[in-house]
Amino acid sequence: MTSLLLPRRLRALVWRRLISPGSEYFELRQHTEGWELTGSVVFVHEGQPYFVDYTLLTDAAWATRNVSVVRRGVEGAAELHLHSDAEHRWWDGNTERVALRGCPDIDLACTPSTNTLPIRRLALEVGQSADVRAAWIRMPDLSLQVLPQRYTRLSQTRYGYESSGGAFKAEVDVDALGLVTNYPPGWERVAVSGA
């Protein structure tokens, strides 16, 4: 009976980083109350090696509720733990990060997994677009800022993505779960299970 309450792994995969050396092992799990995205990322920034472990928990509608990030690198280890409420107010422990108020999504700079959050939450039809505000966790310093983004569904499996008012544009291919398969110039999926 208790096994019905355990998280169910829907997909495991590996992405290869294209813009610089790196890769990620990722898992998507379904819980009774929402979704869990976990990943371990290895990447190079300005010639230095970094390792990031993260876990994101969402509600059933794919709005981010909890974020835990651990980064290791030349500066040593650093951690960031955030949670949000139904009004999209973000908290670091008991301290509200007021600048992030109204952001339903987290965008973790070192992974393509967080593109899944607005893709699933918005559930756009082909030809539709939506503007979103994401709480962007930059790497490697784990600093936070609001990042305006726009998603346009181009086909059943392709989205146009823009950020910073169109300063960055890309076309992102996804699978049936909304997980990135190809995201030039950043990432490509090289292995998957549970497909």
Domain range summary for the chain, segments of one domain joined by +: 2-193
Mean pLDDT confidence for 72-88: 95
Mean pLDDT confidence for 35-58: 97
> For 47-56, how does the pLDDT look when each residue is reduced to its tens digit (9 = 90+)?
999 999 999 9
Distance CA 20, CA 15 (A): 13
| Token duo for residue 182 | 């190809």
Model confidence band, residue 6 (pLDDT cutoffs 50, 70, 90): low
Q: Is 179 helix (H, G, I), strand (E, B) or coil?
A: coil
35 pLDDT above the threshold of 70:
yes
pTM over 0.85: yes
**CA dist list (Å): 33 to 36, 96, 98, 127, 183:** 10, 24, 26, 30, 29
- The per-residue pLDDT for 195 is 57
111 pLDDT above the threshold of 90:
yes
- The per-residue pLDDT for 2 is 40
Burial class (CB in 10 A: 0-12, 13-18, 19+), 74: exposed
Mean pLDDT confidence for 78-92: 96
